[in-house]
Amino acid sequence: MAHKPEELQEVLHYTFKNPALLRIALTHTSYANESKVATTHNERLEFLGDSVLSVVVADYLFHQSGRPEGELTRMRASLVSEDALFQFAQEIQLGEYLRLGHGEDLGGGRSRPSVVSDAFEAVIAALYLDGGMEAARNFILPFITEGKTAEDDYKTRLQEVVQQDPSAVLKYEVTGETGPDHNKQFTVCVWRNGELLAEGRGRSKKAAEQHAAKVALEKLQ
């Protein structure tokens, strides 16, 4: 059972002055095509949201890092990729709020990365149009400053340290899950050859894994 678009406002911690913008952001082309009345879908908002996201991410990386242009470009690409946006969207269960056509819904559209990541960009545009750059930035920043970023990929760094011993094997395991669906907290343990290295927490499994890897690195180094 899909959630109503209006219910997403609680998850976003933002109340729209024009709720129609949020409804459009969550409306897939398949829904508009099947509708008996003229319905606006989210493709134009997706176009705008892509640009707003890119500006917010670029601004954040520019001020947080003194790295050269090439590295900044790579880091931005990592954070605005479909994979990253799909992960961010899953953290707020965005797929559950989408208005999809019957066939798209039955075909698994709510968990399709292309559909969900496009809607994530459309939601950014809706926030931008309704509340300006500040509203969009407030929504985007918690996602890009927590968990995996190209700047702080602790899992990769831990793997590199551990692989100095070729027989070493790392394993991540979710050991806890608390909180309501829209505000979950995960606990993850990282093991090396069966030995507990560290425990981490985050609002997604990936964020918790990164935190566990960070704690493990601090211990090992």
Catalytic residue among 6, 34, 43, 50: 50
- The reply to whether 195 belongs to the active site is no
| 177 lies in some domain | yes
140 and 159 share a domain?
no
| 186 lies in some domain | yes
Indicate the number of domains in the chain. Answer: 2
Q: Which two tokens stand for residue 122?
A: 């459309």
168 and 71 share a domain?
no
What is residue 221's predicted lDDT score, i.e. its pLDDT?
77
121 and 180 share a domain?
no
pLDDT tens digits, residue range 67-96?
Answer: 888 888 888 888 898 888 998 998 899 999
pLDDT tens digits, residue range 117-151?
Answer: 999 999 999 999 999 999 999 999 988 876 444 44
104 is in an annotated binding site: no
17 and 35 share a domain?
yes
163 and 94 share a domain?
no
| 60 lies in some domain | yes
195 is in an annotated binding site: no
Catalytic residue among 91, 104, 121, 146: 121
Question: Does 1 score more than 90 pLDDT?
Answer: no
Query: Beta partners for 80?
Result: none
Question: Does 198 score more than 50 pLDDT?
Answer: yes
Q: What is the mean pLDDT of residues 41-67?
A: 93
Query: Three-state SS for 36?
Result: coil
User: Residue 178: phi, psi to the nearest 5?
Assistant: -130, 165
Q: What is the mean pLDDT of the chain?
A: 89
- The reply to whether 50 belongs to the active site is yes
Domain that holds residue 71: 5-144
Q: Which two tokens stand for residue 160?
A: 């590199």
121 is in an annotated binding site: yes
99 and 187 share a domain?
no
Question: Whole-prediction pTM value?
Answer: 0.69
